[in-house]
Amino acid sequence: MENYELLWVRVQGSTTDVFIGALYHPPKPVYSTSALLDHLECCLDALSDNYPNDIVMLAGDFNALDNDDVVSRCALTPIVHQPTRGLNILDRIYVNQLVYAEVKVVASAVRSDHKAVIAYNGPMRQALNKEKRLVTFRRRTPTQHAMFLQYLTDNTPDFTVSEDVQTGFNRLYDTMTCLLDTFYPIRRITVTSSDPPFVSPAVKAMLRRKNRLNEDRAC
């Protein structure tokens, strides 16, 4: 038991108490994962038997501990659904009651490759340390593809090499870049650190266009 980096704290409230379990599960633990899950299950069973109406929360850095195993063994609900380190949800919060209306994953206020998780109630909060950056992308649509293919059908570029290799490569590169700029011009858009990983610059542009169309339709 002493090998587990797990600390339970009881917070007494005006109407109900909250039991908070802070866990760090290292990437290479000295204990077996099943033993930790057994211990967590025993803790949650004891809390459920002795304090059936209180709120129980388990949070921390779970690393490779399987989310489904925690849910099935502890009978808790995960409320963090965005990656907190790279593409992985390592920093999680599990609760026995859905007491939080909002959960945000934001850039950490300290130097860390993990993001911070904020669970709260009340009005929507704006992340003050959100980072913005301007990125470039090339929009691609079926119409652009059709126009590009039609142009190549009517105007076949001349790639005959009649000079040295480097000069011929430079001419090929310039021709291809010109075609890209003509049919797939470079666009710029602002992305933020709070955007989910699947929201690419192209997706962000489509979402903004959708929002503008909805605003115009509402007017």
pLDDT of residue 125: 67
Looking at residue 188, what is its pLDDT? 93
Report pLDDT for 157: 78
pTM value is 0.59
Residue type for 106, please?
V
98 shares its domain with 111: yes
Per residue of the chain (219 residues), give pLDDT as tens: 468 999 999 999 888 899 999 999 999 999 999 999 999 999 999 999 999 999 999 999 999 999 999 999 999 999 999 999 988 999 999 999 988 888 888 888 778 889 889 888 877 766 666 778 899 999 989 999 999 999 989 988 777 766 788 888 888 889 899 999 999 999 999 988 777 778 889 888 888 888 888 777 766
154 shares a domain with 79: no
What does the alpha-carbon distance between residue 31 and residue 23 come to, in Å, rounded to a whole number? Answer: 14
Asked if the structure places residue 63 within a domain, the reply is: yes
CB 18 within 8 A of CB 10: yes
In-domain check, residue 191: yes
Alpha carbon 177 to its chain's center: 33
The answer to whether residues 30 and 78 belong to one domain is: yes
What one-character-per-residue DSSP string does 116-144 give? EEEEE-SSPPPPTT--EEEEEEE---HHH
Q: Give the CATH number of the domain where residue 44 resides.
A: 3.60.10.10
Query: Residue 59's domain spans which residues?
Result: 5-120
The encoded tokens of residue 22 equal: 């802070």
Q: What is the DSSP string of 33-90?
A: HHHHHHHHHHHHHHHHHH-TTSEEEEEEE-TTS-HHHHHHHH--EE---S-SBTTB--
Which pLDDT value is given to residue 80? 94
Query: What's the confidence (pLDDT) of residue 128?
Result: 63
What DSSP element (H or E) covers 145?
helix 142-154
Integer Cα distance of 62 and 42 in angstroms: 18
Q: At what angle do helices 165-183 and 142-154 cross, to 10 degrees?
A: 130
Rg of the chain over Cα atoms, rounded to whole angstroms, equals 27
Q: In this structure, is residue 132 part of a structural domain?
A: no
Instruction: Write down the pLDDT at residue 2.
Output: 61
Residue 126: predicted pLDDT: 67
Please name which of 177, 180, 171, 174 lies closest in space to residue 147, comparing C-alpha atoms.
180
Tally of domains within the chain: 3
Residue 171 is classified by DSSP as: H
pLDDT value at position 121?
84
